[in-house]
Amino acid sequence: MFPEFEDVVSRLDKGQLATFPGGVHPQDHKALSNQTQIADLPLANEFVIPVRQHIGTDGALLVRVGDKVMKGQPLTQSNQPFSVPVHAPTSGVVTDITQHVTAHPSGLNELCVVLKADGQDIWAPLSPCDDYTALDKTALIEKLCDAGISGMGGAGFPTHIKASANNEVEFLIINGAECEPYITSDDRLMREHAESILTGIDILSYLLKPKCVVFAIEDNKPEALDAIRKQVVSRPHVRVVSIETKYPAGGEKQLIQVVTGREVPRKGLPLDIGVTMFNVGTCHAINDAISFGKPLIERIVTVTGKAVKRPGNYRTRLGTPVNHLLSQAGYLADKQKTPQVIMGGPMMGFTLNDAAVPVVKITNCLLVPETHELTQGEDERACIRCSACADACPATLLPQQLYWHSKAREYDKAQEYNLFDCIECGACAYVCPSEIPLVHYYRKAKADVRLELDEKAKSEKAKERFEARKARLEQEKAEREEKHRKAKEARLAAAEKPARKAADATADPAKDKVAAALARAKARKAAQAAQATGEKASAENAEATTADAPQATEKPAGNKKAAVAAAIARAKAKKAAQNAETAETPSDQVVTPADSPAPATAPANDRKAAVAAAVARAKAKKAAREAEQQSAPQSDSSAPATKPVEESEQAPAPESPDVSAEDSAAEAKKKRIAAAVAKAKAKKAQKENENKA
Amino acid sequence: MTVSIALIVIGVLAVAFGLLLGYASIRFKVEADPLVEQIDEVLPQTQCGQCGYPGCRPYAEAIANGDDINKCPPGGESTIKKLADLTGKEAKPLDAAHGEEDVKKVAFIREDECIGCTKCIQACPVDAIVGAAKQMHTVLTQECTGCDLCVDPCPVDCIDMLPVEVTPASWKWDFDKTPKGDIPIKMVS
Amino acid sequence: MKLTLSSSPHLRTKRDTGQVMRLVLYAMLPGVACQLYFFGWGVMVQAIIALITAIATEAAILALRNKSVIRNLSDYSAVLTACLLAVSIPPTLPWWMTVIGTFFAIAIVKQLYGGLGYNLFNPAMIAYVVLLVSFPAAMTQWLPPVSLQATELNFADTLSLIFTGFSVDGMDITQVKTTIDGITSATPLDYVKTGLTQSQTYSELLNSGLFNSSVADSAAAGWSWVGLAYALGGLLLLRLKVISWHIPGSMVLSVIICALLMHLINPDIYASPLFHLLNGSVLFGAFFIATDPVSASTTQKGRLVFGAMIGFWIVIIRTFGGYPDAVAFAVIIMNMAVPLIDYYTRPRTYGYSRGKQ
């Protein structure tokens, strides 16, 4: 189950490799694209650089629209451990920062920086490092992170996280398996840049201090094996192993199993079993970043398939739109009955929904098949339980059971069959004689389960917040009652003495407070009375409070509490007065100012204007509602839609003289809002009308 | 004589088994959540009150006391199914009187129209709206349960319920929802 | 033109269900040829009757279920079921029994359960058992090998026998069955079983009657050749990876071990492993019946258990049961146990510690 280090090494030395269960042997079609040298792709005019191209969080944007950037200049910065910056692929001007379709199977938009190339292609100042051993570990890792390097094999895991592991690393495995059919970018890279890859490995070895470095290459790439073997002559600690060609040997877990015989524990990391793995492309990028100071702004992309005229590998700047790449490689539209572009290989790649999708850090291949080149089953039939899928599954799952449960949406059962241990390699669907898109079912099930968990967490949080709010409201209520009780006591105490006495004692701060409290209490009482009685609220009452309130405000300054109380009292009074005037306003509209100190600081004019506007709107709302009710029974379909608009526009009119006296700006705002309200109402009325119709 | 022996034997057996069962019921007691807790767990916690109860927990209590299980529009079909499993009642279609199942939505305040009346803040059951009197309010999208309760109190109707947008993270491999483009490149002759 | 979207993998093997079924059909050819050679035209006529019935039934029910008839027929599963049944029944079985059996297999056992992939049991075997239980006499009227037949049956005779119950010369099945020696023929299994119940010993039986006929080409040899021919076809399927070795391997091994154990305990009343293996339909069943993907176990360990238990039941039923052969019963019993076997033989998923699922 868990071979010891010495056993593994001795087996490796003898050339004995373990294997993984299952696997399939699709035709590799690699000769289509690996015959020619890596070609430099001419610059595109416009680049679209997604802010996030790796697993983790976005970096913070460093540029703004209109900024001029140099080639290699960072566009974002890493401010969290799991974020990796992206860089300008060429010099030019940032023309837009917008949502743009990105390299994701969903074809949905994500935040991207759009860069217009100036054609100069001038590097930002670079800081090459001739001797990485002179730098300490932290500095190197920081350099890796700043260079924006994330795994280039497929998943896009930030490299600096992997490289800064503190666990003891027994095996550093370099993944040159490239097991997917058609893809040859790593193959060509190994053939042409073996030295660079191995320098990258040296840097990683320096960082991780592995006991053993294993370079694994599938045996269908003899040229790459030769090229690497030539380079390792000077590095005897690197063991080059040729592994059996079997899909998905290049999967991280599978390659670890093949090389070491160990299995990554579920929910664990390779590091838990002393193994860490890097893709050859990542090693090359590490060398570029450290030795030459170049950030990750380009990668090798295989453009292949029989619907391109010049299949091969292209050194492509990140952010290059796919259609530029395709036009350079010679897309043959007439070879495809229905256009189709696959990013990645035929087994795990995804179809693009738009050719404007940019090349990103994980884009290793663009596959443009001619019609019938890929045998893609569209003809799903009943499962015959042949278990060919189980025999092909490298994770020894039971794909068939997963399929039944996923299809029936019995997700708990699907999870019982370890749905989430599926690596989505596609071997099961590849062998399925009934052409069932098994992986698609699993993906859907996984997405559903994840969302369900999210929902659950969210509802848990909502519940907590609801409970917290309830508790808070209860506490507030209790406090209020306590205050009322105290106020009542104070009033009773005050009632014993003559009212004048209290007024005379203005010089005394203590009495000041009592007076303020009294004023406040009175104001509140008045407000409450106004609220409760609505129409019955008498003008007298309102006058009384307004009379009281100025008294309170006239009290000597320096007593903040008194001032606040006074302000509140004033507001209350005003409201009470308004309530009395416009009795139709619903009583629940009155805000309890105790909740916030804002009204005390807000300028009186604004407040007045706003209140007036609110009243106007409320009226408009009411009018609109009435209009709706009136017009609803009418059979004329156009009437309800237009009538509320007219009515609600007229509605604020009676209030306008007051407001214009106050502030014309407030009026303008009010009118605009009223118009909006009217629009909303009209819309609502129309909708209701439609429903009725 | 025989009869009495039979009676004694049966009696002794009855007592013995009774004791055994009694012991087993104590010894192997299954500590289950009270039903209300379990039901509350299943409900979507939008606290929207569409069921006619002030919040999810009161509805959970009502269900435990025999109320219908089909009054929760935000939970929809799947919640009814789970409730049916839990309570042993038959799954019924959603009671239209309480609303219809809809796509998930969150509230959005058109901020330049907001007058800062705080009515929505008071209406929000999960405190997902921040703002102060006379100040513009805004919704914490992450916390909003889409319960709709803030829409009605707004005096200026500046709150919209917008469907939650699908992001690459929440995409469910539904290709129908993907906008489709083409390959607008120059043909190579 | 909009870009087409689809989910990975975008590549598939060219082997589809129809092809798998066709390969199984091809692999049956050596066995069928052997049957034709030793037992005459009957099997061919039965195959044709069964095929017509199967296709007609399947088409009718698919049409009733509003499913695409052509598309579902093209998976060849009905054809395969018909052929499996046709080679299992006596070659001179009256035509309407074959029709009933085939109809039962397709309509009841397969389509009523939901069609291909949903049937719990092996359709051909249920049909066989239904016929055996309903028409025990007719279902045990096996012809002796052609070389032992007193009257030679030509194609016309066979047709006439199947459709009218009498050969062209007016002989009924019992008369036709009579061997040159004047003994009414039985299958070797039948012969031994009857003999054992009449307290003859196994070794005595092997040196008498059926096995000791004056003709060099013994009846038992005829049966055995057929079994071996099917095994050859089965090996071909293994080679083509249409079936895995687990079920046939464990089944054959289990038959050998069980029979050997019993034979060692008392060679007089328990037949030898070789006898069990080469007679009846053990080899045919091991490669063609028990490996039916739909009704067999799906995990590798499960397949081993499934095959071994079938082998066990075959020996037990043959020895102690009422019927001479037992492959159909054994397969059906184990079909029932498949969900259980599958559940308890789930493989350890990558990264999970052993012992804990």
CB contact A106 to C (< 8 Å): no
Chain A residue numbers with beta carbons less than 8 Å from the beta carbon of C6 are: 340, 351, 376, 437
Residue A213 and residue A136 share a domain: yes
Which of A270, A292, A314 is the last residue before a domain boundary?
Answer: A292
* Contact assignment for A330 to B188 by CB distance below 8 Å: yes
- Shortest distance, CA C12 to any CA of chain B (angstroms): 20
Chain B contact present for A444, CB below 8 A: yes
Whether residues B110 and B94 share a domain: the answer is no
The H or E element spanning position B87 is: helix B76-87
Chains that touch A (3 or more CB pairs under 8 A): B, C
For chain A, what is the domain count?
3
Band the pLDDT of A560: cuts 50, 70, 90: low
Q: Do A590 and A683 fall within a single domain?
A: no
Neighbours of A229 (CB within 10 A): 15
Residues A159 and A220 in one domain: yes
**How many Å apart are CA A566 and CA A546, to the nearest integer?**
11
* Domain finish residue from A569, A602, A635: A602
Q: Which of B44, B79, B98 is the last residue of a domain?
A: B98
The answer to whether residues A172 and A75 touch, using CB atoms and an 8 Å cutoff, is: no
Looking up residue B142, the CATH number of its domain turns out to be 3.30.70.20
A425 annotated to a ligand binding site: yes
> Rounded mean pLDDT of A586-602?
41
Residue B179 has pLDDT above 90, yes or no: no
Query: Mean pLDDT over all residues of chain B?
Result: 85
Sequence-separated (6 or more) residues with CB below 8 Å from residue C223:
C38, C145, C187, C188, C278, C279, C280
In a domain, B140, yes or no: yes
Residues A6 and A148 in one domain: yes
Q: Is B41 in the same domain as B60?
A: yes
| pLDDT band with cut points at 50, 70 and 90 for residue A590 | very low
Q: Do C8 and A433 touch (CB under 8 A)?
A: no
- Nearest CA distance, C2 vs chain A (angstrom): 7
Q: Binding residue per annotation — B117?
A: yes
Q: Is A283 annotated to bind ligand? A: no
What ipTM, to 2 d.p.?
0.87
Under DSSP, is residue C141 helix (H, G, I), strand (E, B) or coil? coil
Three-class DSSP category at B161: strand
In a domain, A469, yes or no: no
Residue B173: which of C1, C2, C7 has the nearest Cβ?
C7
Cα dist. A149→A140, A197, A313, C11 in Å?
Answer: 12, 14, 21, 31
Q: Is B173 on the interface with C (CB under 8 A)?
A: yes
Looking at the structure, tell me whether residues A260 and A190 fall in a common domain: yes
Answer yes or no: do B74 and B120 share one domain. Answer: no
CB contact under 8 A, A327 and B186: yes
Of A475-489, B156-170, C48-62, the one with minimum mean pLDDT is B156-170
B147 is in an annotated binding site: yes
Separation of alpha carbons A568 and A565, rounded Å: 5
The β-bridge relationship of strands A298-304 and A312-317 is antiparallel
Specify if A63 maps to a domain.
no
Q: Which amino acid would we find at residue A72? A: G
Tell me how close the Cα of A506 comes to any Cα of chain B, in angstroms.
Answer: 32
pLDDT in tens, A503-538: 555 445 555 566 666 667 766 666 665 555 544 444
Tell me which of B43 and A604 has the higher pLDDT.
B43
Average pLDDT over residues A255-266: 91
Residues of B in contact with C3 (CB under 8 A): 180-183
- Taking the C-alpha atoms of residue C138 and residue C42, their distance in angstroms, rounded to an integer, is 14
How would residue A655 be classed by pLDDT, with cut points 50, 70 and 90?
very low
Chain B partners within 8 Å of C1 (Cβ): 182
Q: What is the pLDDT of residue A669?
A: 61
Quick one: A200 and A235 in the same domain? yes
The answer to whether A145 is a known ligand-binding residue is: no
Across the interface, whether the CB atoms of A387 and C7 are under 8 A apart is answered no
Cα within 13 Å of Cα(C37), Cβ side: 14
Q: Which of chain A's residues have a Cβ under 8 Å away from the Cβ of B172?
A: 444, 447-448, 451
The answer to whether position B17 is within a domain reads no
pLDDT at A567 over 60: no
Say yes or no: B95 contacts chain A, CB-CB below 8 A: no
Indicate the residue of B110, B126, B173 with minimum beta-carbon distance to A462.
B126
**Whether residue B85 is found in the same domain as residue B119:** no
A160 lies in the same domain as A258: yes
Q: Of A240, A283, A243, whose CA–CA distance to A261 is shortest?
A: A243
Q: Is residue A259 part of a domain?
A: yes
- One-letter amino acid identity for A678? A
- Using the Cβ of B171 and the Cβ atoms of chain C, whether some distance falls under 8 Å is answered with no
| Residues of C in Cβ contact (< 8 Å) with A430 | 9, 11-13
Examine residue B79 and state whether it is found in any structural domain, yes or no: yes
Residue B172 lies in a domain: no
- Amino acid at residue number A634: Q
Chains B, C: CB pairs < 8 Å: 14
At A388-412, the pLDDT tens digits run 999 999 999 999 999 999 998 889 8
Contacts of B126 in chain A (CB under 8 A): 462, 465-466, 469
Report the pLDDT value the prediction gives residue C310, as an integer from 0 to 100. 96
For B181, which of C3, C6, C7 is closest by C-beta distance? C3
pLDDT tier at C125, thresholds 50, 70, 90: very high
Q: What is the CATH number of the domain that holds B70?
A: 1.10.15.40
Q: How far is residue C249's CA from residue C252's CA, in Å, rounded to a whole number?
A: 5
pLDDT grade for A595, boundaries at 50, 70 and 90:
very low
B110 in any annotated domain? yes
Phi, psi of C31 (to 5 degrees): -65, -45
Q: Is residue B185 part of a domain?
A: no
Would you state the pLDDT for residue A563? Answer: 53
For residues A21-36, average pLDDT: 91
Chain A: closest CA distance from residue B25 (Å): 29
Residue in B174, B103, B104 with CA at minimum distance from that of residue A107 = B174
Residue A319 lies in a domain: no
Instruction: Let me know whether B143 and B127 are in one domain.
Output: yes
Interface check B175 vs C, CB under 8 A: yes
Of B46, B73, B98, the one marking the end of a domain is B98
Q: Same domain, yes or no, for A583 and A673?
A: no
A176 and A245 belong to one structural domain = yes
Q: Which of these, C303, C259, C305, lies nearest to C279 by C-alpha position?
A: C259
Tell me, yes or no, if B148 comes closer than 8 A to chain A by beta carbon. Answer: no
Range of the domain at B139: 105-163
Strands B138-139 and B129-130, how do they pair? Answer: antiparallel
Q: Do A621 and B155 touch (CB under 8 A)?
A: yes
Q: Is residue A321 part of a domain?
A: no
Q: How far is it, in rounded angstroms, from Cα B5 to Cα A690? A: 85
**A19 lies in some domain:** yes
Say whether both B137 and B157 belong to one domain. Answer: yes
A393 assigned to a ligand binding site: yes
For residues B39 and B67, state if they share a domain.
yes
My answer on whether A279 and A139 are in the same domain is yes
The residue assigned the tokens 């039971």 is A398
Cβ neighbours of C8 in B, within 8 Å: none
Q: Is B170 within 8 Å of A460 when comparing Cβ atoms?
A: no
Residue A175 lies inside a defined structural domain of this protein? yes
Bridge partners, A301 (sequence order): A314
User: Minimal Cα–Cα distance from C54 to chain A, Å?
Assistant: 18
pLDDT per position as a tens digit, C324-356: 888 999 999 999 999 999 999 999 898 887 654
Looking at the structure, do residues B82 and B111 belong to the same domain, yes or no? no
Last residue of a domain, one of A559, A579, A602: A602
CB contact under 8 A, A110 and B168: yes
Question: Is there a contact between B182 and C3 if contact means CB atoms under 8 Å apart?
Answer: yes
Tell me whether residues C5 and B180 touch, CB distance under 8 A: yes
* Chain A interface includes B103 (CB < 8 A): no
User: Are B175 and C3 in contact (CB < 8 Å)?
Assistant: no
**B157 and chain A in contact, CB less than 8 A:** yes
Residue A103 contacts residue A165 (beta carbons within 8 Å): no
For strands A312-317 and A39-40, give the pairing: parallel
Model confidence pLDDT, tens digit, residues B16-71: 999 999 999 888 877 766 788 888 888 888 888 888 888 888 898 888 888 888 88
User: Residue A569 pLDDT more than 80?
Assistant: no
> According to the model, what pLDDT value does residue A640 have?
40
Domain limit, last residue, from B67, B98, B129: B98
Our CA-based measurement puts residue C334 at a distance from the nearest CA of chain A, in whole angstroms, of 16
Choose the mutation target among B77, B103, B188, B189 for the interface with A, i.e. most A CBs under 10 Å.
B188
If asked whether residues A509 and A555 sit together in one domain, one would say: yes
Q: Is A112 annotated as a binding residue?
A: no
Asked, for residue B2, whether it belongs to a domain, the answer is no
B158 is in an annotated binding site: no
Chains adjacent to B (≥3 CB pairs closer than 8 angstroms): A, C
Q: Is the pLDDT of residue C218 over 70?
A: no
Closest CA to C151 of C129, C135, C174, C128: C174
Is A226 an 8 Å CB contact of chain C?
no
Q: Which residue of B has its CA nearest to C6?
A: B175
Residue A661 pLDDT > 50: no
Residues B113 and B154 in one domain: yes
Across the range C287-293, mean pLDDT stands at 93
Please name the member of C1, C5, C7 whose beta carbon is closest to the beta carbon of B182. Answer: C1
Q: Which domain holds residue A612?
A: 603-693
Considering only residues A196 and B99, tell me which one the structure prediction assigns the higher pLDDT: A196
Compute the distance between CA of residue C133 and CA of residue A386 in angstroms, rounded to an integer: 30
Tell me if chain A has a CB within 8 Å of the CB of B34: no
User: Following DSSP, what letter does each residue of A189-236 receive, concatenated?
Assistant: HHHH-HHHHHHHHHHHHHHH--SEEEEEEETT-HHHHHHHHHHHTT-T
A585 located within any domain: yes
Check whether residue A521 and residue A656 sit in a common domain.
no
Are residues B94 and B123 located together in one domain of the fold?
A: no
Q: How many domains does chain B have?
A: 2
Instruction: Report the largest interatomic distance among the alpha carbons of chain A, rounded to a whole angstrom.
Output: 109
Report the pLDDT averaged over residues A536-558: 43
Q: Chain C within 8 Å of A644 (Cβ-Cβ)?
A: no
- Taking CB atoms and an 8 Å limit, are A390 and C347 in contact across chains? yes
Taking any CB pair shorter than 8 Å as contact, residues of chain C touching chain A are 1-17, 19-20, 71, 75, 77, 115-118, 244, 293-294, 296, 298-300, 342, 346-354
Residue B126 lies in a domain: yes
| Nearest CA-CA distance, residue A1 and chain B, Å | 36
> By CB neighbour count within 10 A (0-12 exposed, 13-18 middle, 19+ buried), where does C217 fall?
middle
**Residue A268 to residue C351, Cβ atoms within 8 A:** yes
